[in-house]
Chain A
Amino acid sequence: MNYKELTEKLVDQCLRLGADAAEVYLQSSRSLSIRIRNADIETVQESSPMGIGFRVIVNNRLGFSHCNDFTDRSLTSTIERAIAFAKLTSPDENNVLPGDKGYTEIEGLFDQEIQNVPMDRKINMALELEELALKDERITHSSGSGFGERETETFIANSNGLSQSFKSGSCSISVGVVAQKGDQRSTGSESSSKRFFADLDPLPEIAETASQRAWEMLDPQPVRTQRASVIFDSRVSSRLIGGITGALNGLRVMQGASFLGDSMDKQFASDLITVIDDGTRQRILGSSPFDGEGVPTARRTLVENGVVRNFYYNTYAASRAGIESTGNASRGGYTRIPGIGTHNILVPGGEHTPEQIISQTRRGLLLNSITGSGLSSVTGNFSGGAAGFWIENGRIQHPVRGLTIAGNAEEVLYGIDMLGNDTDMSRSTVVPTFRVREMQIGGV
């Protein structure tokens, strides 16, 4: 079936059935997942999900429906359900669809090679990865390793003449292990997800990271409740930045549910912090030629040296704010109405190596795991469970776990006083290590 023609034809059908404006979003995917444990296959799953979503506007009212049965009868009745819903929702003049603004040319979103790699080789990679991760004698169990791949074709057409499509793919490999010592158990895992098969990180590197993460956290020692420096390593630093980007969502700002709502062009954080959203990076997972409703993606600076420079919007929120969409419509598949989200978040690195940051910390916590909510986009306050290493006089002393850390927006965000240079540009989210001068740490 020619899906491009189908989506265009269905837009016309929506209009015929009573919609004033309509958008048809179709996704067709193929995926494979292999799980290995204890040197044998645990699961092999293969699938080819597909489906279609209809967004219709009738008298400024919005209706949405989706189905994954492509028979004429089902498609027609699903459209009719969307139109029926659109007669019940509230009129809002901001319910508009984007016009055709073209797309952003991005190289390397699809790797034909992935599906050409034989099944046996994929299985053997996962087998080898598990074996490597179990090599260290401190590692006692495997939680399993795996290989996964997915390719997706996306088609969007709307009644403003927009008709776009693109094909994208990804593959990933991962492993998890356990280090048991007496009654103590510690887990470690690592994965590599890339658009290109050839870009996957080397197996020994992935295995060693997973293994080290498990054994290095054995024999933790308690620390007392106190205020001290907290170093967010690059595994967890994005959790804090995620709270900032969540607060720059244009709709949340208009709804008064963001702690940065009144901060446009104002300083709210340390001038070390710059945050860029870039949906156009080549060969990177979060990139795409257009967003979830067909608006071209771009590279935009959200925060510049601690100052808010831009909020981000989809078409609805932009119309409400009286501006143009920034190409930030997110879409959780064909079953979802477009939301608002970022593509690839990048925080440019600073001048210190992570080792220098540790050696210049008199007393504090090197954080490698955060659980819980993290930084709240509504209040800007930070709170969460924490684990990592305790630092005294610039040296790592011992692992710590079961701690809590907390701080209010001002002390955490202005408190960022050292920024690492460890930016791994092969990832979608790139946030280096940084230090917060002082936070409340809850221990014994």
Chain B
Amino acid sequence: MNMKKFPLRSIPRRKFLEMSMKGGLLVAATPTLLSHLVSCREGTRPAIEMDKDTISRVIRKALERGGEFADVYLENRISRQISMEESIFNSGVYGIRQGAGVRVIAGDKTGYAYTDEINEENLMRAAEVASYVARNSQTITPVDIAPAQRESYITVAKPLEEIADNQRIEIMERANQAALGYDPRIRMASISYYDQVRSRIIANSEGLYLSDELPLLMFIVSTLGEEGNNRHMGRDRLSHHSGFEMFEKTTPEEVATTAARESVDMLVAEDSPAGTMDVVMENGWGGVLVHEAVGHPLEADNIAKGIGAFTGKVGQKVAADCFTMVDDGTIPNERGTINFDDEGTPVKKNVLIENGVLKGYMTDILSAKQLDMKRTGNGRRESYRNIPIPRMTNTFIQKGDDKPEDILASTKNGLYVQSLSGGSVNSVTGMFNFTCREAYIIKNGKKTKPVRGATLIGSCIDVVTNIDAVGDDLAFGPGNCGKGGQTAEVSVGQPTVRIRGINVGGSRA
């Protein structure tokens, strides 16, 4: 991938420059790799062939000392982040990150090395370092790489490269005005805009060669409501793998109003009571509860190690009959959607639990091999600086037949959770915890007073066996999922559900 060895043809680069100029950008920062990636995508043959030869040499080098699998991952990410606080655009950050990693698998061992500077010499060195774990093991002859085709679930009407920065600024201003105009008790709004285009090339010793480009947008509005001594930070987020048309489907005003409404409504909240309660969870982002409580324990790495909470339970009844859970990386333009995972495996709709019966786990190449299971397209990585591990994409509870209003009306007393901040799970013990951002006391089947500071805690097995009502109103929410020091963009989905007997923490008896 050395520039000297692979002279760039002027066409793809000029085309890229044109695209950038159209967007009103002053300069087109076109790092080496991106030009290659753009040219690959557009099918400019000479560059691809040269690239593939280099990559083949790197793969052969990686398997020189042994090992049964090797892959090369090249990545370029161009990002823009603009933030606004107190009606001031306080920063704009433009970033280029690129690099490449080489991985070798030998039995249960993985060797990995990466370089920030992409050239053949560095990749060869990375291959040599990665091959350390494969010393004295059996080896294979790599299959010659050939371009593969993958279906795309991401459509772009308004490419991010063609959007002028002042259009981004305008979206943020609209959100700011809507938030501050919602109510005089909104004391501060902070708006965060982020977009990136991540370009990937994946090639491996099984002969795979793939490249693509994933655009991603994330828009967050946080509002601080204040009245007397009471304060509440409200928040709403919008994120898709999409072009700038995302803001036509959901306007910045809608995002701002959702955050502001929460800030104001929660100002009269009382301290949460503590104890065991029935919980009704509103549709949408509440799905993060099953993401943590059930999703993580179903990622196959801990299963392969024999320590995960659901180890050895495939085919067994692990949840209530009404509970079906799916991980689906193919939902058009969702935040967790990727056309293929970071190992090149196509994403799929994977049913994890069907009517209470455990159907399967989410695998990457290594855990699929260890468990002798199929690759499910869940091998993801934060960037070229990390190895792939099993991760979720869009994870949701399948919708049921109950009407949300009936679920609430038939719950005599309990807690109505409108939104959660986030939470975590120990995927070995299955113990999880969540903090509620917005919750209400249910009395005689009705939402009453808001309460603050409620925590939900329990074991994942208990939650899925104690779900007894599933609504017909499936909705999704965007989030960031952290695992093993890596962050992945995901979405979670859930219809309104009721879970009997969750331990709720609060400061009142």
Contact = CB atoms under 8 A, between A and B. Distances in A.
A240 to B, nearest CB: 14
Counting chain B residues whose Cβ lies within 8 A of the other chain, the interface size class is: 35 or more
Nearest to A71: B32
Given A41-B133, A49-B385, A178-B428, A90 B455 contact: no
Interface stretch (A6-14, A60-68, A274-282, A303-311): A60-68
Contacts of A226: 509
Contact of B116 (A68, A77, A143): A68
B72 interface: no
Contacts of B32: 69, 71, 74
B92 A67 contact: no
A337 B226 CA distance: 28
A81 interface: yes
Given A69-B31, A225-B274, A408-B271, A88 B505 contact: no
Interface string B414-447: 0000000101101011110111000000000000
B164 to A, nearest CB: 10
Q: Main SS of chain A's interface residues?
A: strand
Given A45-B113, A48-B115, A406 B507 contact: yes
A373 B92 contact: no
B11 interface: no
B492 to A, nearest CB: 18
Contacts of A170: none
Nearest to B95: A66
Contacts of B25: 84
B506 A40 contact: no
Nearest to B109: A41
A141 B306 contact: yes
A78 B93 CA distance: 10
A381 interface: yes
Contacts of A371: 423-424, 431, 433, 457
Contacts of A43: 109-112, 133, 387
Given A69-B31, A402-B458, A92 B90 contact: yes
Contact of B307 (A78, A141, A384): A141
B289 to A, nearest CB: 13
Given A43-B387, A373-B435, A406 B116 contact: no
A180 to B, nearest CB: 8
B272 to A, nearest CB: 7
Contact of A86 (B92, B117, B231, B458): B92
Contacts of B166: 88
Interface in B47-105: 82, 85-99
A67 B90 contact: no
Contact of A372 (B115, B169, B305, B423): B423
A391 to B, nearest CB: 19
Contacts of B506: 383, 404, 406, 440, 442
B431 A401 contact: yes
A405 B435 CA distance: 12
B401 interface: no
Contact of B457 (A89, A187, A373, A403): A403
B452 A442 contact: no
A442 B415 CA distance: 15
A346 to B, nearest CB: 26
A441 interface: yes
Contacts of A37: 108, 305
A88 B89 contact: yes
Given A67-B31, A143-B305, 11 more contacts: A43-B112, A63-B92, A63-B94, A69-B116, A78-B96, A143-B428, A187-B429, A255-B85, A382-B507, A439-B507, A440-B274
Interface of A: 37, 40-51, 62-71, 74, 77-78, 80-82, 84-86, 88-90, 92, 141, 143-144, 178, 185-187, 225-227, 255-257, 335, 337, 371-373, 376, 378-379, 381-387, 401-408, 411, 439-444
11 contacts: A43-B111, A45-B387, A74-B32, A77-B28, A186-B429, A187-B426, A225-B274, A256-B226, A371-B424, A384-B455, A442-B457
Interface of B: 25-32, 82, 85-99, 108-117, 129-130, 132-133, 165-166, 169, 187-188, 224, 226, 231, 233, 271-272, 274-276, 305-307, 309, 385, 387, 421, 423-424, 426, 428-431, 433-435, 452-455, 457-459, 503-509
